Amino acid sequence: MSAAQWRRAMSTGLAGAAPRVPVGRTAAPSPAPAADPFAHSDAPRWLKHLWRTLAPRHVFTALLVLIFPFVATPFFTFQVASQSLVLGLIALSLTFLAGYGGMVSLAQMTVAGIAGYTMAVLGTSSSPEISLGWPWWVAVPAAVLLATVCSALIGWLSVRTEGIYTIMITLAIGVAFYYIVLQNYSVFNGFQGLRELKPPTVFGVQWRDPLPFYFLCLFWAGAGYFLVRYVVRAPFGIALQGIRDNPRRMEALGYGVVAHRVAAYALSGLLAAVAGILLAWYNALMTPGSVGTGWLINILVIAVLGGMKHPIGAFLGALVFVLLQTFAIDVIDRERFNLVIGTVFLAIVLFSPDGLLGLWAKLRSRLSPTQAMTSPQRRQP
């Protein structure tokens, strides 16, 4: 596939839907301003906005994620839910880059790994001769900052390429980072990596216990989710989507194409870096294995599985991925369980090229007659 074809495929696949969500959301309530009961009330603006945009499914989801850890076992809270949130946040950084910027980067796990390793080297770990032992409130921001800068550099290097060439360059960077941490013993401790990376005890809370860690992940995943939702509606995000669809025209209009793309890399790097810190705490270790080729591709699998048309897809994909990884071996014995994982991935992508979100959209359009009747009512009090 040539670069131009690739881009066309990316933009036709995404151009219709991705902007629809952010634009549609803000536009939808406006037709009925007269019916808005808050139009003349003294309630603060944010409350009115919330009332207009909130649908039952949002409340349902919010209640679900808040109540879930109190109902589920610690195992589900920690291994399934927290891990899904962390992996989802990394996949979200890719969804943002690929879905809204049209740039498929395989180096998102590498950025997360850079953050995790930096925190391990600057902070405390099982190798006191390597780790500098800085307090966490210095080490963690420094790690996030460095990873964001690295992501911007990766972007700067790869934005001049398009489509499949971007994939190749970012893959090369990812594999190079893997070999550096594998073979360097003085800073990265080689094959064994750095262990005993624990979140600090703040406000007397053990943040690695299942419940606090879940809420920590939920907070940052939510922050990343709403940041992406906000940015894609902001002028920067709109310009980015314009660049995705037609860089030459945007250039002619006076937008700095390279600058926008590099900025998008930096922002996605920020998301991946935060997730990288959480991932290091989740595993309590950083080893070359966690930034290997397998994981670079897993992040792409998660993003595609969930669907790239909406930021929530990343988290749905991560949930399915983690559930499969954890429980496939119970379904079928021994060496064959990877077959189950592969079959499910294949089935989802085969029947719905837009991942789980595409399945959801299909389901909704099938039920649409009833929805069309009820949805205007839903906004009335």
Partner 1 sequence: MKLNRKVWVRSMLAAAATAALAGGAWAQGQPVKIGLLATLEGPFAAGGADGMRGAELAVKQRGGVVAGRKIEVIKASSDAKPDVAVNATRKLVEQDKVEIMVGPLSGGEGIAVKDYSKTQPGVTFINGGSGAQATTLVNPSPNFFRFNTEGGQWMVGLGKAAMDKGYKRVMVIAEDYAFPYSQVQGFMSEYCRLGGKVPEKAWVPLGGKDYSSVIAKIPKDVDALLVVLGGADAVNFLTQYENAGGDKPMLGGSITVSQDVLNYKGKRRDSLVGTLSAGPLADAYDGAEWKAFVDDYRKTYPVSAGGFPSPSLFAYVYYVNMKAALDGLAAVNGDLSGGQAKYREALSKMVLKTPNGDVRLDANRQAIGTTFVTEVVKDAQGNLFNKVNRKVDNVEQTLGMSAADFKIGSRDVPACP
Positions that interact with partner 1 (CB under 8 A)? 73-76, 78-79, 83, 183, 185, 190-193, 195-196, 283-285, 287, 289-290, 292, 294, 325-326, 329, 333-335, 337-338
Fill in the DSSP letter of residue 285: E
Nearer to partner 1, 75 or 230 (CB): 75
Nearer to partner 1, 78 or 214 (CB): 78
Q: How near is the Cβ of 272 to partner 1 at its closest, in Å?
A: 17
Tell me the C-alpha distance between 104 and 126, whole Å: 35
Nearest CA among 2, 7, 1, 6 for reference residue 246: 7
Q: How near is the Cβ of 290 to partner 1 at its closest, in Å?
A: 5
Q: How near is the Cβ of 140 to partner 1 at its closest, in Å?
A: 20
Contact 208, 281 (CB under 8 A): yes
Nearer to partner 1, 83 or 158 (CB): 83
Q: How near is the Cβ of 292 to partner 1 at its closest, in Å?
A: 8
Tell me the C-alpha distance between 171 and 109, whole Å: 10
Cα four-point dihedral sign 121, 124, 125, 131: positive
Nearer to partner 1, 212 or 242 (CB): 212
Nearer to partner 1, 191 or 226 (CB): 191
Tell me the C-alpha distance between 350 and 305, whole Å: 10
Q: How near is the Cβ of 334 to partner 1 at its closest, in Å?
A: 7
Tell me the C-alpha distance between 158 and 131, whole Å: 32
Nearer to partner 1, 72 or 359 (CB): 72
Fill in the DSSP letter of residue 131: -
Tell me the C-alpha distance between 79 and 368, whole Å: 36
Under 8 Å CB-to-CB from 298, ≥6 apart: which residues? Answer: 87, 109, 321
Q: How near is the Cβ of 170 to partner 1 at its closest, in Å?
A: 22
Contact 302, 317 (CB under 8 A): yes
